[in-house]
């Protein structure tokens, strides 16, 4: 929320500077995100007087001005404003100044052949308003040569972050209350005028939705003149990031921003009969002030008359009954709406507004009359007119919330000892009522919570209030007690697995990426196992973050695209995180997964390597096998099978499985259609490892690696070359050979694949290196021969014949 320093000082009697205000707000838990100083924005602009104005020799709509800046000789300036004339005072931007509206740096230049030393500025160019028909005209007593920022007044603007539990600080007055409690000044009381009304309200007002709108107050003001707001009001709204519209609309916005109290003004001429707060009916729609039409449904509170709905209650008014320049009679509405009802309606309609952000957090139910009186008084001041008597339909919740509070709790929970008398002073300065010896409270205080603090529910909340006003920086940092001896490990087996795999991936030259857990629906659908398996958010941050990711690969592909678009030649990205699936009966199914993307050049072009070499599916497989081994998977037992998924190239992808159903990983090249969907050019290799699919050993949580003890005897290697059908996967043969004699064969690997002269048509020659490990004694010839026979017998199961 933004507000100017002068706005704050309207409610807080203080001489504090903007720096002191910011420091105090941070100290009491209201984070200041930034301070805007208009003096910096207006640097280089000064009050100047036009001495002469002559027509430009080469342009009918331009004039050549002689401008007095109060320093030395007059400057020549070319100007196209129709109101530029000799004798007027305006604002000159000298060379070197930056125009706030467009960031243009002024410099000495020639315009149609005539030298111009700066620019006479309009209101819009200095971001002081929307007027741009001509340049700024200053009063005759404006000091020529003075810095315009000093003349205009530099009013700093603070930008503070208000947490959802502090609805009282959604208005400048609430922030002033906190600052006063912190000792930065004196809070001025709310000066609500007493306006009785000179005639009975001609409009019937009632509420037929006691749950959604318990209280609905209103009054009519006749004979108003809806013109532009005065300059002070426009400047304060602009400081808050609001666009001034008209006096009536600006007045309602000003009361909302000042006191956190939304209200609404209807054009009385556009209303038909009684104005009622009720539930929406099936099929009703409303055209809101944002020019969008919304379909309403029962359970949503609306403001309607006999013709139909005019307002989505507590969220946004309707276009039909809004005020305009021709409005002369208005109906002011101020109500109390149920926070939960407002929040549900806003989420269903996907509609946000300043009013909704305040109502759904909870506003002060006791501020209805004062809020209506403040708004009425401001409108009468700005627009004139005559006010009716107030009509009150229903009543706001009035039962006070009383909390039992022991001041000793502050030391136990807050970690700081504060004198009970000081605690009472702090609470009372924040608006709480404290009775120290209340009957039935067992020596604890009876603290009555003010209506503007719906977030305070119990004694710990009061401790928080006392400690933050006392000063969070006054709470001493104390180390937690630590038991003697070595700390007991707390990491779970899954956490240890994450750490080990993350380190292994980084050690292999991969760069870790952290992407969003949310994806655009289109990208998520490409990697979902049917759209029914995706989790879609009912109230997403944006449409680009609507679906929880069913895979880590879309986020990595988007990251790869961004890097490739910015000229990255080679990418090796990985991410370790969770994907989110819809489990049985709609339950959430979160699975730990490792995603990996290889894109660009694996080997750059060079005098030794020749042309650049891109990543391929075998690179993806190598990474998958290495990381699975690091995760403790029995890689020697893995089977290479197809069906990696439609996102992968069907002829250049596969899965790694333990048995036909347990998929540990999938790898391969990105499908061209998927690459097009992500706007990626060039080959991309991908890996997705499902870490939770790795089965644990008996009695262990995972395939953790045992400590290594080298064998006493030297290993022996033997080579075997087999003729096999050309379509036989080499992995099938390797797996059979390795399992031929588990007592002696510890490894088998393929080192040659030959197809050519000497190999029959329809066959290929696969050469394997088999490693044998003796345990108790060295091998004899007959031992090696026996193992060889077992190898040949195992290979024969897939039609492999030992080559002669």
| Same domain, yes or no: 658 and 515 | yes
- pLDDT for position 442: 65
| Residue 704 pLDDT greater than 50, yes or no | no
The answer to whether residue 200 is domain-embedded is: no
Q: Residue 727: inside a domain, yes or no?
A: yes
In this structure, are 301 and 161 located in the same domain?
Answer: no
Burial class (CB in 10 A: 0-12, 13-18, 19+), 419: exposed
Does residue 688 contact residue 554 with C-beta atoms inside 8 Å? no
Q: In whole angstroms, what is the distance from residue 427 CA to residue 409 CA?
A: 14
Give the end-to-end CA distance of the chain in Å, rounded to a whole number: 85
H-helix segments, 350-458: 354-359, 368-383, 409-414, 420-429
Q: Is the pTM of this model over 0.85?
A: no
> Phi and psi at residue 606, in whole multiples of 5°?
-170, 170
- Asked if the structure places residue 244 within a domain, the reply is yes
Residues annotated within a binding site for Mg(2+):
455, 461, 464-465
Which of 344, 369, 394 is the endpoint of a domain?
394
pLDDT at 603: 85
Contacts of 272 (CB under 8 A, 6+ apart): 305, 306, 307
User: Would 96 be classed as within a structural domain?
Assistant: yes
Give residues with Cβ within 8 angstroms of 467, minimum separation 6: 410, 414, 416, 418, 475
Look at 166-175, 522-531, 607-616 and tell me which has the smallest mean pLDDT: 522-531
Residue 284 and residue 264 in one domain: yes
Q: pLDDT-derived band of residue 101, with 50, 70 and 90 as boundaries?
A: confident
Q: Is the pLDDT of residue 705 over 60?
A: no
Report the helix count and the strand count for the chain, using DSSP H and E: 20, 42
Read off the CATH number of the domain in which 18 is found: 3.30.56.10
| 136 lies in the same domain as 180 | no
Q: Is residue 93 part of a domain?
A: yes
Residue 444 confidence (pLDDT) above 80: yes
Q: Is residue 534 domain-shared with residue 664, that is, in the same domain?
A: yes
Domain around 15? 2-37+156-187
Neighbours of 107 (CB within 10 A): 12
The model's pLDDT over 706-732, given as tens digits with 9 standing for 90+, comes to: 556 778 889 999 999 999 999 898 888
Pairing of strands 386-387, 215-222: antiparallel
424 vs 416: CA distance, rounded Å: 15
Q: Is there a domain that residue 195 lies in?
A: no
- pLDDT of residue 748 exceeding 80, the answer is yes
Domain endpoint, select from 394, 428, 460: 394
- Compute CA distances 454 → 89, 160, 457, whole Å: 53, 20, 7
List b or e across 437-453, with b for residues whose CB sees 16 or more CB atoms inside 10 angstroms. Answer: ebeebeebbbbebbbbb
Say yes or no: 25 and 53 in one domain. Answer: no
Rounded CA separation 526/553 (Å): 10
- Chain Cα centroid distance, residue 801: 63
Average the pLDDT over 755-760 and give the result.
88
- Convert the pLDDT of each residue in 388-408 to its tens digit: 999 999 999 888 899 999 999
Query: Is 517 in the same domain as 652?
Result: yes
Q: Identify the band that residue 586 occupies on the pLDDT scale cut at 50, 70 and 90.
A: low
From 521, 498, 502, 518, select the one nearest 510 (Cα to Cα).
502
Taking 3-state DSSP, the helix, strand and coil percentages for the chain, each rounded to the nearest 5, stand at: 30, 30, 45
Q: What is the mean pLDDT of the chain?
A: 90
Checking if the pLDDT of 506 tops 70, the result is yes
Residue 230 in this model has a pLDDT that exceeds 70:
yes
Q: What 3 state SS string does 734-790 have?
A: HHHHHCCCCCCEEEEEEEEEECCCCCCCCEEEEEEEEEECCCCCCCCHHHHHHHHHH
What CATH number does residue 782 fall under? 3.30.70.380
Closest of 394, 390, 395 to residue 220, by C-alpha: 390
What interhelical angle do 18-27 and 172-181 show, nearest 10? 80
* 364: in domain: yes
Element (H, E) at 525: helix 521-526
Token pair for 316: 């946004």
The predicted pLDDT at position 63 comes to 92
pLDDT above 70: percentage of residues in the chain: 97
Give alpha helix (H) positions in 111-187.
148-152, 172-181
- Apex CA 621: angle with CA 616 and CA 624, to 5°? 130
Helix (H) or strand (E) holding 81: none
Q: 628 is written with which tokens? A: 């699975």
Q: Which helix (H) or strand (E) holds 102?
A: none
At a CB cut-off of 8 Å and minimum separation 6, what does 781 contact?
Answer: none
**Residues annotated within a binding site:** 455, 461, 464-465
Domain boundary among 394, 415, 431: 394
Residues 179, 211 within the same domain: no
> Does 390 share its domain with 241?
yes
Cβ-count burial 287-308 (b if 16+ within 10 Å, e if not): ebbeeeebebeeebbbbbbeee
408-426 mean pLDDT: 92
Note whether residue 480 is domain-resident. Answer: no
The pLDDT-based confidence of 439 (bands split at 50, 70, 90) is low
In tens, the pLDDT along 60-84 reads 889 999 999 988 889 999 999 999 9
Residues 308 and 285 grouped into a single domain:
yes
Per-residue pLDDT, averaged over 583-606, amounts to 85
Q: Which of 574, 570, 559, 567 is nearest to 601 (CA)?
A: 570
CATH code of the domain containing 213 = 3.50.40.10
Q: Is the model's pLDDT at 440 over the cut of 70?
A: no
* pLDDT above 50: residue 413: yes
Give the model confidence (pLDDT) of 48-66 as tens digits: 999 999 999 988 889 999 9
Both 112 and 224 in one domain: the answer is no
pLDDT at residue number 550: 92
Which is more confident, 439 or 457?
457
Q: Are 414 and 463 a contacting pair, CB within 8 Å?
A: yes
Count up the domains in the chain and report the number: 6
Q: Is the dihedral of CA 13, 17, 19, 20 positive or negative?
A: negative
- Which residues have CB under 8 Å from 479's CB, separation 6+? none
354, 432: one domain: no
């Amino acid at each position: 929320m933004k507000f100017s320093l002068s706005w704050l000082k309207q409610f807080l009697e203080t001489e504090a500077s903007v720096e002191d205000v910011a420091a105090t707000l941070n100290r009491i838990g209201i984070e200041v995100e930034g301070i805007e100083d208009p003096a910096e924005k207006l640097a280089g602009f000064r009050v100047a007087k036009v001495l002469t104005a002559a027509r430009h020799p080469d342009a009918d709509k331009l004039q050549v001005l002689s401008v007095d800046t109060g320093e030395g000789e007059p400057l020549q300036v070319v100007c196209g404003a129709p109101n530029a004339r000799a004798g007027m005072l305006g604002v000159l931007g000298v060379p070197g100044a930056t125009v706030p509206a467009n960031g243009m740096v002024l410099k000495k230049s020639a315009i149609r052949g005539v030298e111009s030393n700066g620019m006479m500025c309009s209101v819009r160019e200095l971001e002081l308003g929307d007027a741009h028909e001509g340049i700024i005209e200053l009063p005759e007593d404006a000091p020529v040569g003075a810095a315009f920022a000093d003349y205009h007044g530099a009013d700093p603007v603070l930008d503070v972050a208000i947490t959802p539990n502090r609805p009282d600080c959604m208005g400048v007055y609430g922030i002033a209350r906190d600052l006063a409690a912190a000792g930065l000044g004196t809070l001025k009381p709310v000066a609500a005028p007493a306006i009785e009304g000179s005639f009975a309200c001609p409009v019937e007002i009632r509420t037929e939705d006691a749950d959604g709108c318990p209280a609905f107050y209103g009054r009519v003001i006749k004979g108003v003149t809806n013109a532009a707001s005065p300059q002070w009001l426009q400047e304060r709204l602009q400081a808050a990031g609001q666009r001034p519209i008209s006096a009536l609309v600006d007045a309602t916005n000003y009361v909302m921003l000042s006191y956190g109290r939304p209200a609404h003004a209807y054009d009385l001429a556009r209303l038909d009969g009684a104005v009622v707060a009720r539930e929406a009916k099936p099929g009703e729609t409303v055209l809101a002030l944002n020019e969008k039409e919304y379909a309403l449904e029962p359970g949503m509170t609306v403001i309607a008359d006999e013709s139909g709905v005019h307002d989505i209650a507590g969220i946004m008014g309707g276009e039909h009954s809004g005020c305009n320049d021709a409005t002369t009679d208005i109906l002011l509405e101020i109500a109390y709406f149920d926070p939960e009802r407002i929040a549900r309606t806003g989420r269903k309609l996907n509609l946000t507004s300043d009013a909704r952000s305040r109502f759904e957090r909870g506003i002060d139910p006791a501020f209805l009359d004062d809020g209506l009186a403040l708004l009425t008084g401001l409108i009468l001041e700005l627009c004139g007119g005559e006010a009716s008597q107030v009509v009150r339909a229903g009543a706001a919740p009035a039962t006070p919330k009383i909390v039992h509070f022991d001041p000793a709790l502050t030391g136990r929970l807050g970690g700081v000892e504060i004198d009970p008398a000081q605690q009472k002073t702090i609470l009372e300065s924040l608006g709480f009522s404290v009775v120290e010896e209340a009957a039935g409270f067992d020596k604890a205080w009876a603290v009555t919570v003010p209506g503007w603090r719906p977030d305070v529910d119990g004694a710990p909340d009061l401790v928080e209030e006392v400690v933050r006003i006392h000063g969070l920086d006054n709470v001493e940092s104390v180390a937690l007690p630590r038991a003697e001896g070595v700390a007991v490990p707390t990491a779970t087996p899954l956490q240890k697995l994450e750490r080990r795999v993350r380190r292994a991936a980084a050690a292999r030259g991969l760069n870790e990426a952290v992407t969003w857990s949310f994806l655009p629906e289109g990208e998520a659908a490409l990697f979902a196992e049917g759209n029914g398996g995706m989790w879609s958010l009912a109230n997403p941050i944006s449409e680009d973050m609507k679906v929880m990711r069913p895979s880590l690969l879309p986020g990595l592909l988007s990251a790869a695209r961004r890097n490739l678009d910015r000229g990255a030649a080679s990418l090796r990205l990985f991410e370790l995180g969770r994907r989110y699936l819809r489990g049985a009966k709609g339950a959430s199914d979160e699975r730990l997964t490792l995603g990996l993307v290889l894109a660009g050049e694996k080997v750059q072009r060079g005098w030794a390597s020749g042309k650049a070499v891109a990543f391929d599916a075998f690179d993806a497989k190598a990474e998958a096998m290495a990381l699975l081994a690091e995760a403790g998977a029995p890689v020697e037992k893995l089977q290479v099978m197809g069906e990696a998924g439609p996102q992968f190239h069907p002829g250049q992808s596969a899965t790694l499985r333990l048995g036909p159903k347990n998929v540990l990983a999938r790898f391969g090249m990105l499908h061209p259609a998927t690459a097009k969907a992500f706007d990626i050019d060039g080959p991309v290799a991908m890996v997705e490892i499902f870490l939770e699919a790795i089965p644990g050993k008996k009695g262990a949580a995972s395939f953790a690696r045992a400590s290594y003890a080298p064998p006493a005897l030297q290993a022996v290697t033997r080579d075997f070359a087999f003729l096999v059908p050309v379509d036989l996967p080499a992995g099938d043969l390797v797996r059979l050979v390795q399992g031929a004699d588990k007592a002696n064969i510890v490894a088998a690997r393929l080192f040659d694949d030959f197809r050519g002269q000497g190999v029959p048509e329809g066959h290929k020659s696969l050469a394997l290196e088999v490693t044998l490990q003796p345990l108790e004694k060295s091998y004899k010839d007959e031992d090696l021969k026996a193992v060889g026979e077992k190898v040949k017998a195992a290979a024969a199961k897939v039609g492999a014949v030992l080559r002669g």
